[in-house]
């Protein structure tokens, strides 16, 4: 059956689309809501907010998390803040401006209607979070503080010190715990979704593994919501938490959900570089450091002198001279690419030459050490804790790291995937962010989807869907359980020579070198040749000890890495087909004479949605054309 990608964007002026959509949606009578079971996978911002809200409405919600408690989800690590078009500053902000910034920042690869709705809902999110007791920054009059973020010209970012994600997640977690106590939500901690079950073409349940006992269990629902985050850990080293993985969305993809723009990944320019082979993750340093820090590398290749011994005349402040008007404040993708370029030339600093200096000497001379301490003290402390270096005296070393994935499962305006009854929220969907996400917009999208969009669109589906009675004795559930048992036993049975981590590291290296900050036809073809070889070796030579029926962290990792080994190939396939550069996707062959990303709007103004066609087979490409009526297509320039 051919797949028709109907984004279900409501008719009418962009300002009225969401209101019209809400009015046209069917409702479920309060007395009937408890008869519907909603399965929600993930308890981060999108998942916890959706579970709490649908529970409040009276639905019977089952929420699943592989953590010991829902409060651990990786949304917690977001530092900077959350955007909202409140215009409390009276500085010219509006819903339309936030929408405009989002579409342009996403380099014209986002759906206008979705981005507009995101900007619209942003104002309600702040109200909701404040009512819950989220301790946002306040001024002395008791009003909310905001700051500017990510190069936009208005101050629309609300924040809670450097721990905004933590505070927003705790707000959603507490709302969720309240519903658990009320009996509307049943929480399943330490439970990992390993497959999606589709019956008569509709998502009707999931199969999970209890991580403590190993028990494989089926769960039936009327609708399934995935809110399982992004897949940056395909690179092994990223700013994501160690357990963040693609298994839930990948298994749904294999069951028929199309995957949108898998190659759109965001590389964050200011992370602490890798110190050695044993490195397990990368730590982000707030982008705000670039406001006063100057980025440089030695002019000479292989200069091993200590940074303070290198005189100014022998330093290359490369961003300042290449981009005189934006200097050290160029956007994330530009800063990242330039750091890679100078490192690849052999001028990188630190172990392995993967790093550039971020120097505060002139800021300290200009402002005094106390002002610098006041502005960045906590960040200097984090840096010192990890590296042992005092950044007041020696320059920091930084390097880009994978941070966020704009790609994800394709969803329509209702956030429903190509499988009826399977909804996807937050970073797990292909998102409202286009090819590049602006700072402080991830938290906004997670909460918009969780508190406001899904609780409106999921009931509409439930009201309209004609669902037959299904229980776990249905063959589709039995088959899925059996497949999981077989997969698990196969992994335990291999008893090869290499650990799971060694494969994950190798895949990460491959992806980073060939499908990272800059991609070329040759590099992508290289990766596409090597990934299947690595995958074959994994299934022949991995060593997973222990049994199925116990807490077995190696087994958990093995299942996740097996899925990353398939997703990596799809990312490269997508990156190879998109011969333009846009946002975080930079194809070496497609750049302007000044080395900037060059889009090709005549050929690539669409969402690439990939269909799984079977193991080892080429995926099929479907296109959703994008049209821009309000924000006109233009080339970005930061010179």
Partner 1 sequence: MKLALKIWRQKNTSEAGRFVSYQVDGVTPDMSFLEMLDVLNEQLIEGREQPVAFEHDCREGICGSCGFLINGVPHGPRRHTTVCQLHMRFFKDGDSLTLEPWRAAAFPIVRDLVVDRSAFDRIIQAGGYITAPTGSAPDANAILVGKEAADTAFDAAACIGCGACVAACPNAAAMLFTAAKLTHLNALPQGQPERDERTLNMVAAMRSEAFGSCSNHGECEAVCPKGIPLEFIAGLNRDFVRAAFRPRRDALVVHGAPLHPAHEDA
Residues with active-site annotation: 332
For partner 1, give the closer residue by CB, 256 or 496.
496
Query: Least separation, in Å, of the C-beta of 489 and partner 1?
Result: 17
Name the residue among 68, 63, 69 with its Cα closest to residue 51: 63
For partner 1, the binding residue among 302, 388, 593, 614 (CB under 8 A) is: 388
Cα 329-335-336 angle, rounded to 5 deg: 150
Residues 6+ apart with CB under 8 A from 411: 260, 417, 423, 424, 429, 430
Is residue 210 involved in binding partner 1 (CB under 8 A)? no
Q: How many residues bind partner 1 (CB under 8 A)?
A: 78
597: Cα separation from own chain's centroid = 21
For partner 1, give the closer residue by CB, 184 or 336.
184
Find the part of the chain contacting partner 1 (CB under 8 A) among 141-149, 286-294, 335-343, 411-419.
141-149
List phi, psi (to 5°) of 406: -75, -30
Query: Least separation, in Å, of the C-beta of 90 and partner 1?
Result: 12
Residues 6+ apart with CB under 8 A from 603: 579, 580
Q: Which of residues 447-466 bind partner 1 (CB under 8 A)?
A: 451-452, 455
Q: Which of residues 476-505 bind partner 1 (CB under 8 A)?
A: 499, 501-502
Find the part of the chain contacting partner 1 (CB under 8 A) among 179-187, 251-259, 478-486, 629-637.
179-187
Is residue 280 involved in binding partner 1 (CB under 8 A)? yes
Q: Which of residues 73-132 bind partner 1 (CB under 8 A)?
A: 73-74, 76-77, 86, 88, 124, 126-132
Find the part of the chain contacting partner 1 (CB under 8 A) among 26-34, 167-175, 316-324, 466-474.
167-175
Q: Which of residues 524-543 bind partner 1 (CB under 8 A)?
A: 543
Q: Which of residues 557-616 bind partner 1 (CB under 8 A)?
A: none
155: Cα separation from own chain's centroid = 24
CB atoms within 10 A of CB 617: 8
For partner 1, the binding residue among 321, 385, 475, 493 (CB under 8 A) is: 385
CA-to-CA separations, 328 to 149, 192, 359, in angstroms, rounded: 14, 42, 11
Name the residue among 185, 206, 205, 184 with its Cα closest to residue 194: 206
CA-to-CA separations, 610 to 4, 108, 220, 584, 595, in angstroms, rounded: 12, 20, 27, 19, 30
Q: Which of residues 35-64 bind partner 1 (CB under 8 A)?
A: 49, 52-53, 56
Q: Which of residues 303-342 bind partner 1 (CB under 8 A)?
A: none
For partner 1, the binding residue among 138, 393, 577, 603 (CB under 8 A) is: 138
For partner 1, the binding residue among 43, 62, 167, 270 (CB under 8 A) is: 167
Query: Least separation, in Å, of the C-beta of 198 and partner 1?
Result: 30
Bridge partners for 582 per DSSP = 585
Query: Least separation, in Å, of the C-beta of 629 and partner 1?
Result: 30
Residues 244 and 259: their CA atoms lie apart, in Å, by 18
In DSSP notation, 560-603 reads: HHHHHHHHHHHHHHHHHH--S-BTTB-BTTSB-TTS-B---HHH
- For residues 568, 344, 346, 316, the Cα torsion angle rounded to the nearest 10 degrees is -130
Is residue 29 involved in binding partner 1 (CB under 8 A)? no
For partner 1, give the closer residue by CB, 264 or 451.
451
CA-to-CA separations, 34 to 30, 61, 221, in angstroms, rounded: 8, 9, 12
Query: Least separation, in Å, of the C-beta of 592 and partner 1?
Result: 37
Which secondary-structure segment (H or E) carries 334?
helix 332-342
For partner 1, the binding residue among 3, 16, 91, 133 (CB under 8 A) is: 133
Query: Least separation, in Å, of the C-beta of 137 and partner 1?
Result: 7
For partner 1, give the closer residue by CB, 306 or 385.
385
SS3 116: helix
Cα 336-634-113 angle, rounded to 5 deg: 95
For partner 1, the binding residue among 279, 286, 472, 520 (CB under 8 A) is: 279
Q: Is 36 exposed, middle or buried (CB count within 10 Å of its CB: 0-12, 13-18, 19+)? A: buried
For partner 1, give the closer residue by CB, 73 or 391.
73
Do 246 and 321 contact (CB within 8 A), yes or no? no
SS3 474: coil
- The first and second tokens of residue 623, run together, are 């296109």
Do 608 and 559 contact (CB within 8 A), yes or no? no
Query: Least separation, in Å, of the C-beta of 408 and partner 1?
Result: 20
Query: Least separation, in Å, of the C-beta of 329 and partner 1?
Result: 25
For partner 1, the binding residue among 1, 11, 31, 143 (CB under 8 A) is: 143
For partner 1, give the closer residue by CB, 444 or 572.
444
Q: Which of residues 228-267 bind partner 1 (CB under 8 A)?
A: 241-243
Residues 478 and 126: their CA atoms lie apart, in Å, by 44
Name the DSSP class of 638. Answer: -
Q: Is 528 exposed, middle or buried (CB count within 10 Å of its CB: 0-12, 13-18, 19+)? A: middle
Is residue 174 involved in binding partner 1 (CB under 8 A)? yes
Q: Which of residues 411-440 bind partner 1 (CB under 8 A)?
A: none
Residues 150 and 83: their CA atoms lie apart, in Å, by 11
Query: Least separation, in Å, of the C-beta of 562 and partner 1?
Result: 17
For partner 1, give the closer residue by CB, 23 or 140.
140
Query: Least separation, in Å, of the C-beta of 334 and partner 1?
Result: 26
For partner 1, give the closer residue by CB, 37 or 240.
240
Find the part of the chain contacting partner 1 (CB under 8 A) among 170-178, 194-202, 511-519, 628-636.
170-178
Is residue 180 involved in binding partner 1 (CB under 8 A)? yes
Is residue 23 involved in binding partner 1 (CB under 8 A)? no
């Amino acid at each position: 059956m051919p797949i028709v990608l109907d984004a279900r964007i409501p008719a009418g002026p962009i300002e009225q689309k969401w209101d019209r959509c809400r009015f046209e949606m069917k409702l479920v009578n309060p007395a009937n809501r408890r008869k519907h079971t909603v399965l929600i996978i993930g308890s981060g911002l999108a998942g916890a907010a959706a579970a709490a809200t649908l529970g409040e409405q009276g639905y019977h919600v089952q929420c699943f998390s592989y953590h010991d408690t829902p409060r651990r989800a990786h949304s917690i690590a977001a530092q900077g803040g959350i955007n909202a078009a409140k215009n409390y500053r009276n500085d010219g902000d509006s819903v339309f401006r936030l929408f405009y910034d989002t579409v342009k920042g996403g380099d014209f690869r986002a759906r206008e209607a979705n981005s507009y709705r995101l900007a619209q809902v942003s104002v309600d999110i702040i109200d909701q979070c404040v009512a819950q007791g989220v301790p946002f920054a306040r001024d002395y009059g008791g009003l909310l503080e905001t700051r500017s973020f990510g190069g936009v010209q208005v101050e629309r970012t609300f924040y809670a010190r450097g721990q905004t994600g933590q505070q927003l997640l705790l707000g959603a977690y507490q709302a969720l715990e309240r519903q658990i106590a009320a009996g509307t939500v049943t929480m399943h901690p330490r439970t990992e979704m390993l497959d999606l079950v589709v019956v008569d073409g509709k998502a009707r349940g999931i199969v999970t593994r209890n991580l403590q006992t190993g028990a494989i269990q089926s769960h039936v629902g009327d609708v399934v919501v995935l809110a399982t985050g992004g897949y940056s850990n395909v690179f092994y080293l990223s700013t994501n938490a160690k357990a963040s993985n693609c298994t839930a969305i990948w298994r749904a993809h294999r069951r028929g959900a199309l995957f949108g723009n898998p190659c759109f990944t965001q590389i964050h320019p200011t992370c602490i570089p890798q110190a050695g082979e044993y490195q397990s993750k990368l730590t982000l340093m707030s982008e705000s450091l670039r406001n006063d820090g100057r980025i440089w590398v030695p002019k000479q290749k292989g200069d091993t002198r200590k940074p303070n011994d290198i005189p100014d005349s022998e330093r290359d402040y490369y961003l300042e001279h290449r981009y005189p008007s934006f200097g050290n404040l160029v956007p994330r993708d530009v800063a990242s690419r330039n750091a890679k370029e100078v490192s690849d030339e052999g001028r990188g600093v630190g172990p392995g030459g993967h790093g550039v200096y971020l120097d505060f000497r002139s800021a300290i001379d200009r402002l005094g050490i106390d002002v610098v301490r006041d502005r960045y003290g906590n960040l200097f402390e984090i840096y010192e804790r990890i590296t042992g270096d005092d950044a007041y005296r020696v320059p920091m070393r930084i390097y880009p790291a994978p941070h966020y994935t704009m790609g994800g499962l394709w969803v329509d305006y209702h956030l429903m995937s190509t499988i009826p009854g399977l909804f996807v929220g937050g970073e797990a969907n292909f998102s409202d962010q286009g090819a590049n996400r602006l700072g402080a917009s991830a938290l906004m999208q997670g909460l918009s989807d969780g508190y406001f969009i899904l609780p409106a669109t999921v009931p509409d589906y439930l009201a309209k869907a004609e669902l037959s009675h299904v229980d776990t004795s249905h063959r589709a559930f039995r088959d899925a359980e059996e497949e999981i048992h077989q997969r698990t036993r196969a992994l335990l049975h291999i008893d090869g020579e290499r650990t799971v981590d060694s494969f994950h590291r190798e895949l990460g290296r491959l992806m980073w070198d060939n499908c990272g900050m800059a991609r070329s036809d040759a590099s992508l073809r290289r990766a596409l040749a090597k990934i299947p070889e690595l995958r074959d070796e994994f299934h022949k030579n991995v060593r997973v000890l222990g049994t199925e029926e116990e807490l077995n962290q190696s087994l958990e990792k093995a299942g996740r890495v097996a899925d990353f080994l398939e997703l990596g190939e799809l990312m490269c396939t997508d990156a190879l087909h998109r011969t333009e550069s846009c946002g975080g996707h930079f194809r070496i062959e497609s750049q302007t004479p000044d080395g900037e990303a060059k889009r090709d709007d005549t050929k690539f103004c669409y969402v690439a949605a990939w269909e799984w066609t079977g193991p080892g087979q080429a995926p099929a490409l479907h296109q959703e054309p994008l049209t821009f009526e309000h924000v006109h297509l233009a080339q970005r320039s930061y010179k």
